[in-house]
Structure formats: C-alpha cells, structure tokens
Structure 1
C-alpha cells in the first residue's frame, strides 16, 4: 500500500481570497517556521537590493500624513511615474491633482520622445487651471524625460534644460518661479540606473553632480531640488551614501526625505534645499503610484491667488409663458406699435429686455474654477479606500501575499477609473442623437482640442477693428470692380425678361406664426429674448405680425 503523503494544491486566487482584509488568520508557530524555512513568507529578492542585502532594507512607513489645504503654503510633489502615458490618459495624474490640490508637480521618467504623438498625452496631462513644461527624454535613454506641472497662478520667470548634453550621467531642468512676492528656483534631476548599455557609473555621476550642485549652491534666490538619484541612500555604511552626505555637508545643503521611496525598501528620491533658505518643510512619502512612491512637501511660500471667474445667469425655466404673454399683450408693442422700422426694432428690444429682467433677473456670481471629474462615483471612492487599506497592511507586514493583494487592488482601481471615464463620455455622445454640433464638441473635449482664436497682429482693440474694416472695404471694392469688368461689352438685349410678379396673396397672422413655430430657433446674446422662449410662449402672434 502506497504510504506517500498526498499533496494539496491551491490556486493563486484561492490564496488571495483567504486574505480579504477583514479577518486576521494566525498560523500555528511550527507552520509559520516551516513557511519561513521554505522561503515562502519572505520578501522576493530584487536586483536593486542585492548590494544592500535584506538586512539593510528599511521598513516602508508613512511617518507623516499629508493633508491637502491644511495650510496656505505652496505644495510641491514629485513622482517617478515610469511612463506618464497610461497615467495621463486613464486620469490617474488628474486624480492626484484633485485629491491633494497640488500646486507644482515634478514628474520624472515620463518616457515622452518629443514628437507629435505626445501632444494628446500632454493635453490629457494638463487639466484646466494648469500649465506644463515638458523636457523629452534625450540621447539613447528610453526611460528618461521630465515634466513640470504647475498652477496658472504661478508665474514662470525663466526655464532651461541641458539641451547641449553637458552632463551625460543625468538629465535636468530648472524653472524659476514667482509666486506673489517670492521667487525661487526648482531644479528637477533624473539619473538613469547604471547598466551595461549606458555604461554609467557612480563615480562619473558624482563628478558631474558635484560641479552641478556647486553652480546652484552659489546662485541667487531660494533653491529647491527634486532628485531621482537611483542610489540606496538608506544604507548608511555604503560608500555612495557617505559620498553623497559629504557632498551635502560641503555645500551646506540639506536632504529632507526620510525613509524608503521605492517598493523594495530603498531611498532613491530626495528633496534638497539650502540650510539657510528655511524653505522646505513637512516632507513625507505617500502612495505607491508606480514602483516609486509619491513624495510631498510644502514650501514656505503662500499659495497663489486663485483667479475667480464671473458667471452671469438667468433662470429662464422659471418664467411662466402665460404670464409673459399677458405682459407683452398689455405693453406698447400691441397698444401703440411704432410705425418706423428702426423705431419698431428699438421698441421691440427695449420692451422685451425690460420684461426679461422682470421675470428672470440676471444674477452674477464669482466662482473658483476647479478640475471637474463628473465620472468619479461612490464606488470609485470605495475602491480607493480598499486600495489604501491594502497598502497600509502591506507596509506593516511586508509579506509577499499582501503586496500582491495591494497590486491587484491598485490595478483594479486604475481600471475602474478609466472605465468610468469612458462610460461617462460614451453616454454623453449617445445622448446627442442627431445633434452633431454637440457631439463634435464632446469629442473635442475628449481629445482635448483647445480653441485658439487667431487674430492679426495689433496694438489695441481700435487698431484691430480698423484692420477688419479696411479688409472688408477692400474686398467689397474688389468684387464691384470685377462685376463691372464682366458687365462691360454685354448687350442689354441678352437680359430681357418677360416674366413678372403681379399677384400677391395676403399673409395672415396664423401663416406667420406657423412659419416661426416650424423654423429653427438659434439664439444670440444680442437677442432680447431667447428664440425658444418666444416660441414656447404664445406671444409670437403679437411680436412678429
């Protein structure tokens, strides 16, 4: 009889379903030690962590919780996004901008090449109220590229990048911002990870980076650097870590990020500023958006004043057509109408404008323009909560199974966010029906087509008006001269016509009313009453006959 033990197998889905986040399953001590001996409950090795070893890895923690709008200080965020394409089109970057009310967002590893195919991505990346400064990846590095997103209330004084490839081991861009009365320089640096292909070394990097920092350390104005070093700064006894610390001390610079910024437990991303500037505070590590975490800090600079938008509206739907008809009938439009055409037009406009102000007075209010996400629902909010709960559990346990659960929930939320956005615009297009004007307007919104008005060069509005007047006057003169030249030499006998119109039928009020009712009703801002309101009220008999 076969006494060999039977092996019970479980699928990945079955194992993941056991850890639903609501119950804690405790294993017997001997079973747990057996799993550890079989390397089942340990963290998978990583190529970036081999040098430091497992004993040097830090436990990923969140020492500070960032709260949007907690203070009036300027917020600065950074992220190694590892291809911004999917995160822009799926709305992930916009979701972060809305959630944390980010003022300046530095992105590295955008993987944008700088060609025409990037236009749609950049438009998706830049929501209303924001501007972008994009530096495509340079050289032969397929994983570079830097982009800076900032609010429109922040003014750019100057911007530059390494167009001449003066530094070969890293890429950078610097932007001088002015916010209120404060002026500061933001420098974003990305260092590619050394490989056999690029032949980058830490020695060459420090040789270039030290000279780079010296130039900025003695520059005028306040300074902040956001750097993706790809160095394991968490290993204190590492030679590169000590060399970096010595470089900071020699230039009186301070590095503010504490704790790991990569999913493998290493500190790769830093925020640097001068010790004397006293500019950076409240630095913290937030969500894992890619393999890198989102870095947040605040600058002791007041937030830009949000430009207010003035909106004027009327409650047209609250107008009672029957009451409006009575007011029109009792007005001078019917009792003593003007006999002159010009006087009749003026009377029509004045009376209807006054009646409109009486029934639906104009209301003016100032609103703050904000990023709109009408597709964000309660279900998406719940998925985001589950994702963060799974992330906190993985950060606490560091178990591989918890990491897989967090990844699954993160991907589930990103896919749900993308599908909600697609469904929203798909339903809007279906609701258009045969209204192609509205349909193309929605399609333009999806494709982020920005309306640009191209006008001739002009010094002032009166100069522009004169240019338009001269253009149309010359055009009319050209048409007249061409008509006269064509008529010359043509005998009048060729234009004789024996047909004539002699009998005309009298048009009744009902005929005119029927024509008005069946005709389209486009409206203009110059109309005293909207056309649809004139039609829906029964007063058109008195207004047009």
Structure 2
C-alpha cells in the first residue's frame, strides 16, 4: 500500500527544520520521514488523485498563537505533544500550509477596500496550481471540511486546534480532473463566497473543526434580549417589530407599567407564534416585568418569594434540560436593603444548576467608586455567577442592565440603542441543549367552494342504500357514498400547519415607514450625528402610531363585514383584551396518549376510592304511573326544524362539514329522516356515533399547561348524532313532564330553570327564616367528576323502575350507553382509542338529562329529614337547615342527612369531594361558636363567605362582598373597553359594553333587593362610567341626560324589572313551581272592588333588613304598585316592552 505523506511548502519546511527536533511529530506521518526527504517530496503520487487540504487564514493564526507557548526563546520545543491529526494510511495526500512560529510577513500594500485580501488569494492560487498540478492548472472551487481528531483519549490538543477549518476543492479543476472527496450530504452544500469579485472562491464556506470527543455534542442557541421599556403601552408594536427584526427567542422587559389582569398591550407586542407572561407591580404604579418567548420554547412561570426592595419573575425554559431565567427590576431605594434581599434570593435558588439572571439593577457597576456596585459583583461572584455586560446600557453612560449566568454559556453580548427608552437593548446568545422539535403535522381539510353544494346534490344517489333495514349498514352506505362524492367535488388537501408571520393589518404604508426607520438607523450608525438620532426616534414613534391605526382600521372593517356574526366580534375582542392561552406541549402521538391515560386513570382512581356498599337508607321507589315502550316517528319537517335551531358546530368525525350539510339538506334530508326513524324503530343507536373526539382545554386562563389536572376534557360528537339525540330528548322531556317525574328542586338543564331561580328560592327562604328570628346553616356539596362515574347498569335499572321506560325505548338507551369510546386530539395529533365503561356521554344532548334522572332518588332521601331543605343544580347540591337559637339539636338532623347522602352516593358509584365542601352559618356573631359545636366535622368547613353558583353569600346575606367583587370586575372590563374605542363603531362598542359589563350587572340581580343604598350607588357608578366611556364624556358632565339618551334604565330600575318579569312568569306558569309557590294571588274574604285587580298577597314580615328584602315580600309589593293595564297583560313580550317604558318614565321623570 502506498504511503501517504504530509506535504509542506519548501519555505515552511526550511523554517521548521531549525526550530523542531527530530522527534517533534513521531506519529504525524504514516511512517517516520526525515526532514531532508520531506524537502524533496514536494509532490508525491501513489497512483491516486491527490486531494487538496488548505488551512484558512484564521485557523493559521490560531495555530501560531497556540504553538508559540510551546517553544522556548531559542525556538526549541519544550515538551512532547501529540500530533493534531493522524493521517490514516488509506487516506489521500494532504497539503498543509503552516507558517513557522515567529515569522512576520510583510504587510501587503492596500489597493482599495478589499484589494489586500484578493491579492493574497490570487497569489496563493497562482503558487498552488503549478506546485501541485503543474503549469496551467489552477483551483476553481474550494470548500472547507472538518478535520477529525483520531488521537488516543489521553492526548491533549491546544485549544485553538479544536476550532480549525480547512479548505477542500468542491468539484473539479480547470483541467476537468475529478478529485476524490468525502461523501456528499446536505452539510457539504456549496454556498456563495464572501466576495463576488474573484471567481476562485465563490464556493468556499466555513465548517468548524471538531475533535472526536466533542463531535457528538449538540447544542442549540437562543437569541435573548433585555430592555427596560419604561411602559409598553405606547411602544408595543415597536417592541413587536424589535422581537421579529432581531430574530429573538426570548425577550425580558422591565418597567412594563402594566396593571393587574391587563393583557391588551402584552398581546400587541407578541408576534405570531409567540406568547408573553407578565407580572405587574402589585401595590403601586410603575414597575412590572414581562417575558416574551416563542412557543417553541417551553416556558413555565415558577413562583418565588416576594421581596420589597426589588421585583422578580422566574421562568423555567425548556423541558428536558431546562434552565431558569430570572428577570429583575430594582427601583431606586436603599442599596443595603436590596443587597440583603438579593443575597437571600440567591440563597433560595442555590440548588439550581443553570440560572440566567438579568434585568435593571439601577447600580453603576462601571463606577469603581460605587461601594454598592462592588458589593453586588462580589456577592454574585461568591455564588459563582458571572457578569457579561461591559458596555454602558443607559443614555447617561452607565451600566445599569446586567446579565449574570451560572452554569450557562453565552456569547455575542452587544448593547444597542433602539430608541424606545432611555435604556439600551442588551443582546446575547445562550447555548444550551436543544429541545425536541414538534412533529410536523399536516392538516387535512376539504375546501368547500360555492359550487360544491350543487355538485354534491347532483351526484347524490339514494338508491344505493334505499333498501337498508339495519341502521349500522344504512350509515355505512350513506357515509361511503358521501365520502366518495366529496373526494371528487372537494378532495382532501394536506398542508403543513404553519403559523402566519405577517400581521393581517400590515400594509404598504407601514412597510415603507418601517424600511425608512431601518434606513435612518443605518445612517445614524454611520454618521453618529445627534440630528440623525433624533430623526430616528421620531420615526420609531410614528411607526408605532401608524401600526396602531392600521390595526384599528383592520378590526373595524372585520367587525363591519361580520356584523351578523357576533362570534367574530367577541372572538376578536377576546384576542385583544384577554390573556392568550398557552400552547399545549403535545408534539407527538405519545403526548396525546399521555393525556388519554390521565383522563382514564382519573376515573379509575375515583372509582377505587369509593367505599363498598354501605347499605344506607334505601330510597322509596314509587310505582310508575305510565310506561313508555316505543318512540314516535318523525317527519322531514321535524328534522328540518331541529337543524334550523341547532347551533352550527362541526367535529372531525362528521360525514359532511356542518356548512355543507345545511346547504345540501334539501337533498339528504329525507334520508337523514329515514336514518332517525330506523334507529328509533329498531332500538339501536348507530355505532359510528359512539366515538367521541376529546379536545382538552385549560380550566382557567394562565394555568400551567404541563400540569395535566389543569385540563378539562371537551368532548365532540358528530352532527348527525346530535340530531338523533335531540329527537329522543324532546320525546323524553314530554314523557317526563306528563308523568311529573322531574325532581322539583332540580334546576340544572331544565327549561325555564336557571341559576337565578335556584338562588332566588334559597335566599328567599333564608331571609324569611332570619326575619322570624331563626339561624340557618348552608352546606354546599361538591361531587368529583360526577358525570363520568355514573354506572350504566344502575342507570338502566333506574330508567326502567323509576322512570317507566320499556320495550324498544329501553333497548335504545341500552344501545346508546354501550360500546362507547373516545380519543384525545391536541394540536391535530390524535391519540389511541379508549373505551368508556361508565359515565354519561360528555358533549351529548342526552347526557345531562340522564344524569338528572340518575339523581332522582337523592331528593327523596333528603325529603325524609323534615328540618332539612335542599336545592340542586346538576351535580351542585345545597343543604340548608333553619332553627331557633334555642333549638340547636335540630342540627343533628342535618348531620345525619349528610351521612345518608354519603351512603347513597357510594352505593351509586359517586364520590363526595369533602375537601371542597363549604359551610356558611347565617346567624348573629355571638351564636356562631355554639352552632359550630353541633356541626361535627362540618365545623372545619365553615367560612365567613362562600361563592354559590356565581354569587357570594355572606353571614348577613347582605351581598356586600359580592358587590365589591362585581364592581372590581366591571371596572377592569371598562378599562379594556376604553382601549377599543378607536377600533369599533359606537354601535358595536355599545354591544361590547352590554356583553362585558351590563351582563355582569344583570346576572342574578333579582337577589340585589337586599343591597343597601351604599352598595347600590357603587353599582350605579359602574353603569355611569360605562355610559361615559361609550359616549366619551368627561366625569363633570351630568349623567342623567346621558343615560336617558342611551335609553338605559338605572341599576335600581333594572333590579325591579327583573323581579317583576319573574313575577309575571310565575303567575302565568312560565317559571319553576318553587318560584310560583313564593307568591300568592290576593283573595279578599268578602266581595270587594279589588277582586279583579290582579293583586298579590303581602306576607307578614318583622324586619325591614330581612323579611322585607326577600323575593317573597318584594315581588308582591312591586307588582301591586304597577298599573292595572300592566298587571292584566297576557303576553310576556308585550309585558316586557310596556314595563320598561313604565320604569323608564318613572326613573327620568
């Protein structure tokens, strides 16, 4: 085998000869070669084509610097060292151009800005061509390849050698010879040269040199920025552009000056595919921190201890190999206090290995006379933190913004003046282990055009499934034909889900101004003139204002175009003023399967915690008065009416998209009707409708998406399934109403029932008990995943024995509950399928109705305790017991009732969540301790106030605490609405005001009759402020003409309006029976003229602040004050219209 040699140029070997001993490189060559032989070996050929290896200039300089320390003053080598690279005998020959240490080359004469570099390149090419390939040959294209270190593991190389690069010819020489080269891959793709003047190096590109032990180490780079923004309100779009322009992955902002629960400006500064988390200053104005990050960076807010001398926000970045990013803002104040608190903070995070601390410290670390700055640097150094900022970050020339790292590698630290505040922008790169990239998911959808419906209708052939007598076979043929037609008229298109990077309101005007800003910035950096800096600052401010106006115009046009679609309006408003939901970290099918297992394991754990049968008091089963054994057939008109009333909602498992389904219903309607009747007559629920798609959503905005318990499963079912269930639901409700089977005090999922009617009944009972001198104990029970733990066999027995279902109806419900499954879909990634062995179907029409029927025996058990009253809203159960202060023994009945409820729930596979059980004692303060002694275990759950179906009850039933929270919530919404005035018209703004403010004032406002004048004035102030925001009037303008012009009833009149409407409904059978029982028509004992006046009986009350404020007393008083013409009306719509006119005239008389 021919021996490969390392070949040097003659001049370099002569320089090496005198300074290098004979044993300098014992293993450098394949076999020892004398230096004299090396002189004559300028060109060696062993039968194969030579491959050129040339070091670039930067690598040669690093070799020189690293080798100078290895020679003594006489040029002799001090110690033996391993060779930088061992040449394998099978490898081709190499030419290493290495300069001898200490030799200084004469500086070339400059001929223009780049002539020196080009002269050197041409001279080297002219010399190398004849030396290697003879005269007439020259190098056309070279590219750099890495040299791999194959030394033994004990050898140590100089640090500069691990970053060297070489140059290699890419394809061919001028003579057409083809060279042996390493195997091609995407890594070796030629790139344009650094200069376009010389054709010799147009395919040169740098490749970093890696040693064997570092070649396998991979790292990623995060581009991070730091800025003291001094309010993000007036520069949010400029910050958005800065994030995009600098291609940042993470940006930390201090002094955001944002308020609690204010998200509009955070949403504005987030580019597409990014999110932001903010931490406003809790107590006073100013301050505040925020972190903007790309969604590809998994960020999680971590709670830290609060300190008075500085603000901090810690974010955990990454999942597999995370580091912690801590934003700091220190406001002016005593430095000694800050240093003590900061020392405590560093001590609290001492267990973390990788930490990045950055922010505005307001200490002049560049001032050698600053003792506080010295102590800060000494403190961080003691904790092994390294400070990286060395340039002034403030306009006055001091270093205030600092970057500290522990266990992290950062580089390219720079400071730029971006003209957004008096602080400069700090940029740097952070190197860390890369995170797993999300799976590229291709979304599949059908493009529905204007002609799709007509084409589908023309190709639809019902003869293919006309004779199907089995509902599953019918659905199979129907689905098969629909899919076949859709594949022709609207084929499935697959494309990658790529986030749009350009804002929809970007136009040519904003782009041109943006280009002008960049041009002026380059001019200022070139001239460094103050006039250019001031001009750039004005342009940046103008750009932010222009983008804001462009966005306002876009949103105004969007709302105008979709004027008949309120969903677009509210979705747009929510995207502006509400916090964006964090991205769920689901990147592959395994992640979706993890969520699937969590939901299934959660139900299994609940079922395992339920104790065995406790044999509580069995509920009395009354014989059913009637049986229901068969369904009624439906007509096309019935199905068409259902389709018209149903909300348009689609599911990925739908045969036809909802929009297309409505358009072609005239063609497929008869066959949908046949499918429904076929299912009802055979008692079989189609199996294709039994699979649900679960899309998890966070329970509240701001919750951590990495905690699986923070998700609520939202189940979606096919549209045809909902149509079939709606038909059954209407027939079932009719049967339940005729048989009076419904639970009287159950207000959930029932027509004419609501949370307001439920709370009105409970509060009225409590107020009347308090008027008679009684105390009341209210207990709120919470069930754990009650809908998901329903036992199917128990439910079917209950439908048969207590409801009266039989025959094909009972068989249909049995088929409906059996064989169900679900899968989880997140980020268009679907999990495996899992069986549903228990629970009523979530997201269905019949699921809530079946759950109410499942709880029917519970009401009968509670009725066995005469001293205990109750009310239920779905799975929310309320128990309350009223008693005289001298009759505390009656509380034993409440405790025993609770025990029986626990037994019944366990026997029916339901679990009571005792941790969420809350108790409220409504009694004088001196009586509460004695009452608590009789409550037993319930005494631990007693609270001064509790939230009951959205309304805060307190121990006095004054609703003062609820009024305070309501006022705070409304003013927060008004602040957001005030920032939308430029974006929408006044009519749309009024619609938004009613949706976000008036709806809150009107929620359960029939209970507000117990509010005193002070609290009513607070609510009236909210309405007045809403009117001023809408009409843009100042606070000194008289409010009464404004409310009258808007035709808004005052708050007190709105309360009376709601009470009177409920009274009208109760008198005309349009309210729940328990509301109708609270009022009694007036019947005189003898014939009087008031017999035909439609008056109500006023109950006897003792206290104005108790009984007089209950619905039972307020409703008759307000009703009797109405005009006879109003009391005599029969239509609810006419009554509402005339009542508002009447109240409006009295309010503004």
Could you say which TM-score interval applies, normalised by the shorter chain? 0.5 to 0.7
Q: 1:420 — aligned with what?
A: 550
Tell me how far apart the structure 2 counterparts of residues 82 and 119 of structure 1 sit (CA, whole Å).
17
- Please state how far the C-alpha of 1:380 moved relative to its aligned partner: 2.0
- Please state how far the C-alpha of 1:359 moved relative to its aligned partner: 3.5
CA contact (8 A) 1:328 1:539 kept: no
Give the alignment's TM-score, normalised by structure 1: 0.61
Q: Choose from 310, 318, 331 the match for 1:178.
A: 318
Tell whether 2:463 aligns with 1:334: yes
Specify whether residues 323 and 109 from structure 1 end up closer, same or farther in structure 2 by C-alpha distance, changes over 3 A only.
Answer: closer
Q: 1:208 — aligned with what?
A: 340
What secondary structure is seen at the aligned counterpart in 1 of 2:312? Answer: strand
Show CA shifts across 1:461-509 (max 9, x none): 59779x9xxxxxxxxxxxxx9x999x99xxxxxxxxxxxxxxxxxx9x9
Tell whether 2:561 aligns with 1:434: no
Q: Choose from 402, 413, 416 the match for 1:283.
A: 413
Q: 2:518 — aligned with what?
A: 388
CA contact (8 A) 2:240 2:269 kept: yes
- Please state how far the C-alpha of 1:143 moved relative to its aligned partner: 2.9
- Within a 5 Å distance, the mapping from 1:269-308 to structure 2 comes to 269-274=401-406, 277=407, 279-286=409-416, 287-308=418-439
Name structure 2 gaps, 5 residues minimum: 1-218, 583-596, 607-619, 627-634, 675-1149
- Please state how far the C-alpha of 1:93 moved relative to its aligned partner: 3.7
Specify whether residues 253 and 532 from structure 1 end up closer, same or farther in structure 2 by C-alpha distance, changes over 3 A only.
Answer: closer
Name structure 1 gaps, 5 residues minimum: 1-70, 453-457, 468-480, 489-506
Q: 2:655 — aligned with what?
A: 528
Tell me how far apart the structure 2 counterparts of residues 290 and 179 of structure 1 sit (CA, whole Å).
34
CA contact (8 A) 2:510 2:547 kept: yes
Show CA shifts across 1:267-313 (max 9, x none): 22121224xx3511121223232222222211111454453554221
- Within a 5 Å distance, the mapping from 1:461-540 to structure 2 comes to 461=600, 522=648, 524-525=650-651, 527-530=654-657, 533=660, 540=667
Specify whether residues 410 and 349 from structure 1 end up closer, same or farther in structure 2 by C-alpha distance, changes over 3 A only.
Answer: same
Deviates most, 355-364 or 320-329: 320-329
Q: Choose from 292, 306, 318 the match for 1:163.
A: 306
- Within a 5 Å distance, the mapping from 1:28-427 to structure 2 comes to 72-88=220-236, 91-113=237-259, 115-116=260-261, 118-122=262-266, 124=268, 129-137=273-281, 142-155=285-298, 159-163=302-306, 165=308, 168=309, 170-181=310-321, 183-193=322-332, 198=333, 200-201=334-335, 204=336, 207-208=339-340, 211=343, 215=347, 219-235=351-367, 252-274=384-406, 277=407, 279-286=409-416, 287-308=418-439, 309-317=441-449, 324-325=456-457, 327-329=459-461, 333-334=462-463, 337-338=466-467, 340=469, 342=471, 344-369=474-499, 373-395=503-525, 397=527, 399-427=529-557
Tell me how far apart the structure 1 counterparts of residues 367 and 272 of structure 2 sit (CA, whole Å).
42
Tell me how far apart the structure 1 counterparts of residues 650 and 349 of structure 2 sit (CA, whole Å).
59
Count, aligned residues: 415
Tell me how far apart the structure 1 counterparts of residues 311 and 650 of structure 2 sit (CA, whole Å).
53
Tell me how far apart the structure 1 counterparts of residues 558 and 548 of structure 2 sit (CA, whole Å).
16
Tell me how far apart the structure 1 counterparts of residues 345 and 494 of structure 2 sit (CA, whole Å).
52
- Please state how far the C-alpha of 1:428 moved relative to its aligned partner: 0.7
- Please state how far the C-alpha of 1:543 moved relative to its aligned partner: 6.3
CA contact (8 A) 2:311 2:328 kept: yes
What root-mean-square deviation, in Å, do the aligned CA atoms of Structure 1 and Structure 2 show?
A: 4.7
Give the alignment's TM-score, normalised by structure 2: 0.32
Specify whether residues 242 and 397 from structure 1 end up closer, same or farther in structure 2 by C-alpha distance, changes over 3 A only.
Answer: farther
What secondary structure is seen at the aligned counterpart in 1 of 2:567? Answer: helix
What secondary structure is seen at the aligned counterpart in 2 of 1:316? Answer: coil
Show CA shifts across 1:384-406 (max 9, x none): 23223334444555544333312
What secondary structure is seen at the aligned counterpart in 2 of 1:422? Answer: helix
CA contact (8 A) 1:325 1:538 kept: no
Specify whether residues 244 and 398 from structure 1 end up closer, same or farther in structure 2 by C-alpha distance, changes over 3 A only.
Answer: farther
- Please state how far the C-alpha of 1:443 moved relative to its aligned partner: 3.1
CA contact (8 A) 1:108 1:146 kept: yes
Specify whether residues 255 and 462 from structure 1 end up closer, same or farther in structure 2 by C-alpha distance, changes over 3 A only.
Answer: closer
- Please state how far the C-alpha of 1:151 moved relative to its aligned partner: 4.0
What secondary structure is seen at the aligned counterpart in 1 of 2:533? Answer: helix
- Please state how far the C-alpha of 1:524 moved relative to its aligned partner: 3.7
Specify whether residues 241 and 385 from structure 1 end up closer, same or farther in structure 2 by C-alpha distance, changes over 3 A only.
Answer: farther
Tell me how far apart the structure 1 counterparts of residues 548 and 266 of structure 2 sit (CA, whole Å).
17
Tell me how far apart the structure 2 counterparts of residues 297 and 216 of structure 1 sit (CA, whole Å).
26
- Please state how far the C-alpha of 1:78 moved relative to its aligned partner: 1.4
- Please state how far the C-alpha of 1:246 moved relative to its aligned partner: 5.4
CA contact (8 A) 1:253 1:272 kept: yes
CA contact (8 A) 1:133 1:148 kept: yes
Tell me how far apart the structure 2 counterparts of residues 279 and 129 of structure 1 sit (CA, whole Å).
26
Q: Is the radius of gyration larger for structure 1 or structure 2?
A: 2
Of the two structures, which has the highest relative contact order with CA contacts closer than 8 Å and spacing of 6 or more? 1
CA contact (8 A) 1:128 1:370 kept: yes
Specify whether residues 414 and 161 from structure 1 end up closer, same or farther in structure 2 by C-alpha distance, changes over 3 A only.
Answer: same
Deviates most, 256-265 or 76-85: 256-265
- Please state how far the C-alpha of 1:357 moved relative to its aligned partner: 2.7
Tell me how far apart the structure 2 counterparts of residues 150 and 535 of structure 1 sit (CA, whole Å).
42
- Please state how far the C-alpha of 1:82 moved relative to its aligned partner: 0.9
CA contact (8 A) 1:74 1:302 kept: no
